[in-house]
Structure 1
Amino acid sequence: MTDTTATTGATATHEVTLTDVAADKVKALLAQEGRDDLRLRLAVQPGGCSGLIYQLYFDDRQMDGDAVREFGGVELVVDRMSVPYLAGATIDFADTIEKQGFQIDNPNAQGSCACGDSFH
């Protein structure tokens, strides 16, 4: 494993996958904003009608215990507490008549609410 941070040693990794389509969309959004200092962060937070809710956003912070993987030049970051909830998850991007936006397919979710924004 290569050392990606000079102060903390090897960076932890996670088992979330970002599809090529989603990575391309992230790159396009960052280019549109003129930012190259941001990373895509995925987290699980308490909330929603099923108990847990996904947080997917751009972040310039690096927090202690972050797990990082790179997909086509896009860094996907997951915080230490969210890693077990997201193992094996896939982030894709859809742009169809039926749905548009980032979609998270999480094999750890035992169920979700009717709105599809939260899971348990």
Structure 2
Amino acid sequence: MTVQNETATGVLLTDAAASKAKALLDQEGRDDLALRIAVQPGGCAGLRYQLFFDDRSLDGDVVSDFGGVKLAVDRMSAPYVQGATIDFVDSIEKQGFTIDNPNATGSCACGDSFN
């Protein structure tokens, strides 16, 4: 797992995650979208991540660039994801984006939410 340098968002995007996000954007022919990480209330542990492509620019957004992929974090989510690393895993067991967050003190049994 190769990790980029410290960013304005406080969130790190690995090379694998940036490459996958870039490939998805290229496949759709879109260069106007940012990969947004947000934290919303929900799940049995209290908080849930949302990771999606977004064409909006919200007041207070912090944006970092990783090899042509913009990563956006809204001001309410920023304290919850400070120091987190977003990676992309592609193995026999699982495939998809993962979030390693040192601020999460616990999670539910299904791993869908954190606190």
Tell me the TM-score normalized by structure 1: 0.88
Q: How many residues align?
A: 108
Match of 2:3 in 1: none
**Percent identical:** 74
Distance in 1 between the 2:26 and 2:9 partners? 25
For structure 1, list consecutive stretches of 5 or more residues without a partner in the other structure: 1-12
Q: Does 1:37 align with 2:32?
A: yes
Distance in 2 between the 1:105 and 1:39 partners? 20
For structure 2, list consecutive stretches of 5 or more residues without a partner in the other structure: 1-7
Match of 2:100 in 1: 105
Match of 1:14 in 2: 9
- SS at the partner of 1:97? coil
- Note the C-alpha offset of 1:14: 1.6
Matches within 5 A, 1:1-120: 13-120=8-115
- Note the C-alpha offset of 1:31: 0.8
- Note the C-alpha offset of 1:34: 1.1
- Note the C-alpha offset of 1:22: 0.2
Deviating beyond 6 angstroms after TM superposition, the runs of 4 or more aligned structure 1 residues are none
- SS at the partner of 2:80? helix
- SS at the partner of 2:32? coil
| Larger radius of gyration between Structure 1 and Structure 2 | 1
- SS at the partner of 2:53? strand
- Note the C-alpha offset of 1:116: 1.1
RMSD between aligned residues: 0.6
1:59-117 CA-to-partner distances (Å, cap 9, x unmatched) read: 00001000111111111000000000001000000010111100000000000111111
Match of 1:9 in 2: none
Distance in 2 between the 1:115 and 1:101 partners? 16
